[in-house]
């Protein structure tokens, strides 16, 4: 009969995997909530307008942060790395 | 006696005719307190698409609604009014390495000659040749411009504060940033060499 894996090791593995999942899900949710913008991040958003008399199209800006794909990729990258690290804490073979 | 009378009548009709012709020539001020006048820019590079807008437009254009070939004037854009959607990008764009807005505060176009292209329902389409100055470099450009003449529409636009005419100018043309000494040949993967400019501005000529 072999000893069960140390609690510390399996706990670490679980914590890392949960952390990775939370990071990936939270960043994806935030990215979707700010408009699923497929370009780089924006500090202001263009609001298209049309002048009723001259029919000139112009934009007004709304100061609002929109998460870009660079932050999403970074967060997902860190999440995947943490998930990969969790494999360093393997169960001992029986 | 009859000859003198005829001569006087001819002179009077010539004066009236000349006055009516002069009445068609108006000077339009493109200073826009409503913040509608704008020039948008687009740089579409393989790795990054940069777009934005400038609203600091001013200028004077003299236009004869019966003769578009007489157009003259200039349009100025405040370099610092160029706005991008990303603060860091805007800071770089206006900085010394790129547009150097502090040393080159304006972008100008001064009309030199015009050739009528096409008569439209409420205006003209013309080819306008002029001197375009960006970052201190002046080049002659010929750009297509649509003039839309809106007689007596200033009152409607100003909620009755002023009466007069409006003139709307629209133009889309492309320049090459290397021609104006903006980092020639550098960063082309992220900052396109070609800059597409779209101008849509309205000028007002209040009644005297």
d(CA B155, CA B166): 10
Does some domain include residue B11? no
Bridge partner list, B167? B149, B203
Minimal C-alpha gap between A84 and chain B (Å): 30
Does some domain include residue B156? yes
User: What chain B residue is nearest to A62 in terms of C-alpha separation?
Assistant: B85
SS3 category, B156: helix
d(CA A83, CA A81): 5
Give one DSSP letter per residue of A31-64, joined into a string: HHHTT---SS-BSSEEEEEE-TTT--EEEEEE--
* Residue range B90-112, pLDDT digits in tens: 999 999 999 999 999 999 999 99
Q: Which of A46, A56, A67 to mutate to test the interface with B (most CBs of B within 10 A)?
A: A56
Bridge partner list, A47? A60
d(CA B152, CA B130): 29
Does some domain include residue B193? yes
Tell me what the mean pLDDT of segment B200-207 comes to.
95
Instruction: Please provide residue B84's backbone torsions phi and psi, each rounded to the nearest 5 degrees.
Output: -115, 170
Which position has the higher pLDDT, B118 or A93?
B118
Residues of B in contact with A49 (CB under 8 A): 36
Does some domain include residue B12? no
**A29 — alpha (psi -120 to 50), left (phi > 0) or beta?**
alpha
Minimal C-alpha gap between A82 and chain B (Å): 29
Nearest to B200 among A44, A56, A61 (CB): A56
Instruction: Please provide residue B82's backbone torsions phi and psi, each rounded to the nearest 5 degrees.
Output: -65, 125
* Residue range B12-60, pLDDT digits in tens: 444 444 434 444 789 999 999 889 999 999 999 998 889 999 999 999 9
DSSP B46: S
Does some domain include residue B47? yes
Element (H, E) at B141: strand B137-150
Question: CATH no. for residue B63?
Answer: 2.40.128.110
Does some domain include residue B5? no
- The residue whose two tokens read 């504060």 is B161
Could B53 and A58 be called an inter-chain contact, meaning their C-beta atoms sit closer than 8 Å?
Answer: yes
Kindly list the domain boundaries of chain A, sorted by start residue. 7-86
Q: Smallest Cα–Cα separation from B205: which of B144, B128, B149, B146? A: B149
Does some domain include residue B20? no
Residues of B in contact with A54 (CB under 8 A): 36, 148, 150, 153, 157, 166, 168, 202
* Residue range A64-84, pLDDT digits in tens: 999 999 999 999 999 999 999
Q: Evaluate if residue B140 carries a pLDDT over 50.
A: yes
Which domain, by its residues, includes B122? 25-206
Report residue A4's pLDDT band, with 50, 70 and 90 as the boundaries: low
d(CA A66, CA A74): 15
This prediction has a pTM of 0.79
d(CA B120, CA B115): 14
What ipTM does this complex have? 0.81
Per-residue pLDDT, B24: 72
Per-residue pLDDT, A5: 54
Minimal C-alpha gap between A57 and chain B (Å): 7
Per-residue pLDDT, B14: 45
Q: Evaluate if residue B171 carries a pLDDT over 80.
A: yes
Q: How far is CA B50 from the centre of its chain?
A: 23
| Residues B202, B168 contacting (CB under 8 angstroms) | yes
Q: Kindly state whether A55 is in contact with chain B, defined as any CB-CB distance less than 8 angstroms.
A: yes
Does some domain include residue B100? yes
Q: Evaluate if residue A94 carries a pLDDT over 60.
A: no
Element (H, E) at B134: strand B123-134
Per-residue pLDDT, B139: 97
Q: How many domains in chain B?
A: 1
Per-residue pLDDT, B19: 39
Per-residue pLDDT, B11: 47
Instruction: Please provide residue B99's backbone torsions phi and psi, each rounded to the nearest 5 degrees.
Output: -85, -15
Give one DSSP letter per residue of B60-109, joined into a string: EEEEETT-GGG-EEEEEEEGGGEEESSHHHHHHHHSTTTT-TTT--EEEE
B13 contacts: CB under 8 Å, gap ≥ 6? none
């Amino acid at each position: 009969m072999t000893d069960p894996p140390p609690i510390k090791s399996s706990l670490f593995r679980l914590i890392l995997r949960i952390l990775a999942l939370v990071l990936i899900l939270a960043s994806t949710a935030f990215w979707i909530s700010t408009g699923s913008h497929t370009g780089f991040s924006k500090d202001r958003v263009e609001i298209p307008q049309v002048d009723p008399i001259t029919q000139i199209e112009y934009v007004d800006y709304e100061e609002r942060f929109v998460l870009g794909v660079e932050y999403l990729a970074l967060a997902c990258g860190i999440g995947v790395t943490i998930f990969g690290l969790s494999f360093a804490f393997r169960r001992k073979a029986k | 006696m009859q000859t003198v009378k005829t001569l006087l009548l001819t002179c009077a009709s010539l004066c009236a005719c000349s006055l009516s012709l002069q009445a068609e020539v108006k000077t339009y001020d493109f200073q826009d307190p409503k913040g509608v006048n704008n020039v948008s820019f687009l740089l579409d590079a393989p790795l990054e698409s940069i777009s934005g807008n400038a609203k600091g437009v001013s200028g004077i254009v003299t236009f004869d609604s019966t003769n578009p070939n007489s157009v003259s004037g200039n349009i100025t854009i405040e370099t610092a009014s160029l706005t991008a959607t990303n603060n860091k990008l805007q800071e770089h764009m206006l900085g010394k390495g790129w547009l150097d807005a502090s040393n080159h505060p304006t972008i100008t176009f001064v009309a030199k000659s015009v050739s009528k292209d096409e008569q439209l329902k409420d205006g003209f389409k013309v080819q306008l040749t002029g001197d375009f100055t960006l970052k201190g470099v002046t080049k002659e450009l010929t750009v297509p411009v649509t003039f839309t003449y809106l007689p007596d529409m200033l009152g409607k636009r100003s909620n009755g504060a002023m009466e007069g005419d409006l003139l709307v100018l629209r133009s889309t043309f492309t320049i090459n940033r290397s021609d104006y000494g903006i980092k020639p040949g550098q960063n082309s993967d992220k900052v396109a060499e070609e800059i597409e400019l779209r101008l849509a501005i309205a000028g007002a000529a209040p009644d005297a």
